[in-house]
């Protein structure tokens, strides 16, 4: 039987697989690419373990996992399945059928709109929001607003990576956790 690997070792391994691309999408930006980790089978397993274990410990009351368009989708179904919970998407405008609620949010150069199906979250339901990256915080703020509009209760926002220098965390209310900080 092989020895168990620690959470810290799992995190170090995942971090070692995250790609770095200077000057993408524009000069002066160092793009951290989660897909580098997701192409490695061991990193995928470790990342799943870290996300699921964190929610088990930090938000055991969670009833539904919400993933943000588009890389948050890579995690919400996986986490929900492991925890025996439901999951729901928050998508860009025009991508969801049925009755939706919308919120516009600011981007570096303009704005965008997120939508959530009204029926996806029941009033009072406890929600964990998951995404790959916390940068300026705009998308997570919008997601939290949407969830509140339909009566959900955000118990935690969980991201794989956080760009600390952009101070997006300061814009968010409630519990926020990032696995990796840059």
User: Helix (H, G, I), strand (E, B), or coil: what is residue 97?
Assistant: coil
> Which residue in 45, 89, 101, 79 sits closest to 158, CA to CA?
79
pLDDT above 60 (res 2): no
Active-site residue among 71, 91, 162, 169?
71
| Token pair recorded at residue 180 | 């990796």
C-alpha span between 148 and 162 (Å, rounded): 23
Domains along the chain with CATH numbers: 7-181 (3.40.50.2020)
* C-alpha separations of 119 from 88, 92, 150, 155 in Å: 10, 17, 8, 19
User: Helix (H, G, I), strand (E, B), or coil: what is residue 165?
Assistant: helix
Active-site residue among 8, 57, 99, 108?
108
The confidence score (pLDDT) of residue 106 equals: 86
Nearest 5°: phi and psi at 23? 60, 35
Is 169 marked active-site? no
Is 108 marked active-site? yes
| Token pair recorded at residue 122 | 């029941």
pLDDT above 90 (res 109): no
> Which residue in 102, 157, 100 sits closest to 128, CA to CA?
157
C-alpha span between 122 and 87 (Å, rounded): 12
Each residue's pLDDT tens digit, 133-158? 999 999 999 999 999 999 999 999 99
């Amino acid at each position: 039987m092989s020895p168990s690997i620690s959470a810290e070792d799992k995190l170090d391994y995942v971090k070692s697989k995250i790609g770095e691309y200077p000057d993408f999408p524009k000069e002066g930006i160092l793009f951290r690419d989660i897909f580098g980790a997701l192409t490695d089978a061991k990193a995928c397993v470790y990342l799943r373990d870290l996300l699921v274990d964190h929610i088990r410990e930090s938000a055991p009351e969670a009833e539904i996992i919400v993933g943000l368009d588009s890389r948050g989708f890579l995690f919400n179904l996986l986490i929900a399945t492991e925890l025996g919970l439901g999951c729901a998407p928050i998508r860009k405008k025009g991508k969801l059928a049925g009755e939706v609620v919308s919120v516009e949010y600011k981007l570096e150069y303009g704005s965008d709109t997120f939508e959530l199906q009204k029926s996806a979250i029941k009033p009072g339901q406890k929600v964990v929001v998951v995404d790959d990256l916390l940068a300026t915080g705009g998308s997570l703020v919008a997601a939290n607003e949407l969830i509140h509009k339909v009566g959900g209760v955000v118990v935690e926002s969980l991201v794989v990576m956080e760009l600390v220098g952009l101070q997006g965390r300061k814009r968010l209310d409630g519990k926020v956790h990032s696995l990796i900080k840059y």
